[in-house]
Amino acid sequence: MLKDEYKVYEEKMKKSIESVVNDFAAVRAGRANASVLNRISVDYYGTPTPIQQIASIGSPDPRTLVITPWDVTALKKIEKAIQESDLGINPQNDGKCIRLGFPQLTEERRKELVKQIHKYTEGGKVAIRNIRRDAMDNFKKQQKASEITEDEMKIVEKDLQKMTDDNCKELDKLLENKEKELMSV
């Protein structure tokens, strides 16, 4: 019975990890990666539309992304959306496609990005701990209502703590890998 209730909290913890992974993907590591464009929307016929839905994105070399819209009229709008984003890259429009050149990251910028991913990781850990707290509150209510025994409550506490620790360790591994990626030249 209790194991079924754990699944709900475990899924929420996994979603927190997925959120951190998505945040990591948006952090550019000096290499061209199409996922940096995921958060950028273009005003396409009055509707905010992700770039991936109105253009093809290619990477001819490790430091360049080429965005080729299916509708050439969207070219200027895509260029404007990229300029207004916090990407920090100036798009080059040649009339048919947009080229994004990713410069080599400076040591200072790498350190800033490492700080940023540490914040994302800490936010993920806080979310996981909040989920644990919510779960504990739920199980304490059940104990007060005599739905579970004191022994079961101790088992629940241990299991939830282990689940929390495991998920936090997974976030630490993800952080370590991303940090290596950012600091490698």
* Distance from C-alpha of 62 to C-alpha of 156, rounded to nearest angstrom: 48
pLDDT higher than threshold 70 for residue 147: yes
Q: What residue ranges do the domains of the chain occupy?
A: 2-26+106-183, 34-101
pLDDT higher than threshold 90 for residue 108: no
For 28, the token pair is 């550019």
pLDDT of res. 2:
64
pLDDT of res. 29:
66
Least confident of 29-38, 100-109, 169-178: 29-38
pLDDT of res. 87:
72
Give the chain's mean pLDDT: 86
Q: Answer for the pair 32, 57: CB distance below 8 angstroms, yes or no.
A: no
pLDDT of res. 1:
53
Reported confidence tier of residue 171, pLDDT bands at 50, 70, 90: very high
Share of the chain above pLDDT 70, in %: 96
* Distance from C-alpha of 143 to C-alpha of 79, rounded to nearest angstrom: 58
pLDDT of res. 15:
92
Least confident of 70-74, 93-97, 103-107: 103-107
Instruction: Please provide the CATH number assigned to the domain covering 34-101.
Output: 3.30.1360.40
pLDDT higher than threshold 90 for residue 181: no
| Fold adopted by 2-26+106-183 | Topoisomerase I; Chain A, domain 4 (1.10.132)
Number of neighbouring beta carbons within 10 Å of residue 69: 21
pLDDT of res. 134:
93
* Distance from C-alpha of 179 to C-alpha of 176, rounded to nearest angstrom: 5
3-state helix, strand, coil in the chain (%, to 5): 65, 15, 20
- Is pTM beyond 0.85? Reply is no
pLDDT of res. 118:
93
pLDDT of res. 178:
87
Q: Answer for the pair 178, 170: CB distance below 8 angstroms, yes or no.
A: no
